[in-house]
Structure 1
Amino acid sequence: MITGERQAARIRSLYLKTILRQDISFFDKETNTGEVIGRMSGDTVRIQDAMGEKVGKFIQLFSSFVGAFVVALIRGWLLTLVMLTSIPPMVLSVSVMSVMIAKMASRGQTAYAKAATVVEQTIGSIKTVASFTGEKKAVADYNKSLVDAYRSSVHEGLVAGFGIGSTVFIMFCTYALSVWYGAKMILEKGYTGGDVLTIVFSVLMGSM
């Protein structure tokens, strides 16, 4: 996390230096001040998360994945293989949810950048806006950007809800499958109740 903080500060500094080297036409055609500020504050935080906390979390989850499946295969490889069929739909559900949430978050960030641009241009040229009675138009443009951001946030919440719901549904179906097949293993293959519970929790914790 310390490394991520240092890199984020360095990226902000280099980003500002690069922006200040651009020609005036760059700010007229390619970007605007509101977007520059929004990107500098928003994107660097994401980079910081990816380089800091996410790295430690990845190591933790990868270790849990390997360790859990090793334990499960040792205690009962047959039941473990049956439960492995639940991993592809769970991974697919989480992947689709992550991609959709990323798209919605990007749309929301773009809408907020547009709103910030409207505010900055309106306040920066307030005399001109007031002389042409453009206050209502500026407010309407700002509200439109906020509505777009609101819709993106609502869609993001819906996608997250459906994604988490489908993941939990798959997980409970896996519980049902493991209990049913585990009972058969106890009757036919000499498994114990402790073996079944160990395999179930190991596979589910490893797949999460």
Structure 2
Amino acid sequence: MTTGQIVSRMSGDTVLVQDAIGEKVGKFLQLVATFIGGFVVAFVKGWLLSLVMLACIPPVVIAGGAVAKVLSTISSKGQESYSDAANVVEQTIGSIKTVASFNGEKQAIGEYNKLINKAYKTTVKEGLANGFGMGSVFFIFFSSYGLAIWYGGKLILTKGYTGGEVISILFAIMTGAMF
């Protein structure tokens, strides 16, 4: 590993280190309580609609996991490209006298531009994957809302549910499942 790669990785991983030493335990307890509380409220209010809404959770989780996996792969490629570009800069500046004496500035600039363009293309791919992935997740999420409202309407007509119960169940399940 070169010095440029080390510097690039350190700057990219600083956020990860900060997240690792943050308030993880408190956040974990909050999310577990939200998860359990959401399902308890939903099943107490109306178990029929809650069961239907439970069927909507696996597609959201699968889509979210697929998006995370694709973004992780693309992001690592982008990080590698930026690392290679930083390595070219570090080597060029470290031996600037030699580069200048052999008129190698244009070659160094060309190599740097090639690597930065590769990193730019990777970043564009990452943006497209992020947009498509989040669009897919939200499509499934809002389709779940539509299913819950449609089935909730049927339950209002046939089983004596109220509109408030349907909305309470919808938000309890989706809030509990989202975290």
- The answer to which of 129-138 and 57-66 deviates more is 57-66
| Cα displacement (A) at 1:54 | 5.0
2:59 aligned partner, one-letter code: P
Deviations 1:54-105 (A, max 9, x none): 5544332222111111100110111100011111110011111111111222
1:146 aligned partner, one-letter code: I
SS of residue in 2 equivalent to 1:142: helix
* Aligned equivalent of 2:45: 75
The separation in 2 between residues aligned to 1:164 and 1:32, in whole angstroms, is 36
Mapping 1:141-156, distance limit 5 Å: 141-156=111-126
1:99 partnered with 2:69 = yes
The separation in 2 between residues aligned to 1:57 and 1:100, in whole angstroms, is 26
SS of residue in 2 equivalent to 1:191: coil
1:43 partnered with 2:27 = no
1:34 aligned partner, one-letter code: G
Mapping 1:91-130, distance limit 5 Å: 91-130=61-100
Q: TM-score, normalised by structure 2?
A: 0.92
Aligned-residue RMSD, C-alpha: 1.5
* Aligned equivalent of 1:183: 153
The separation in 2 between residues aligned to 1:152 and 1:58, in whole angstroms, is 33
- The list of structure 1 runs, each at least 4 consecutive aligned residues, that deviate by more than 6 angstroms after superposition, is none
| Cα displacement (A) at 1:166 | 0.9
The separation in 2 between residues aligned to 1:102 and 1:167, in whole angstroms, is 17
For these two proteins, the number of residue pairs brought into alignment is: 178
Mapping 1:156-167, distance limit 5 Å: 156-167=126-137
1:87 partnered with 2:71 = no
Q: Which structure ranks higher in relative contact order (CA pairs < 8 Å, sequence separation ≥ 6)?
A: 2
Identical positions, percent: 56
The separation in 1 between residues aligned to 2:145 and 2:13, in whole angstroms, is 39
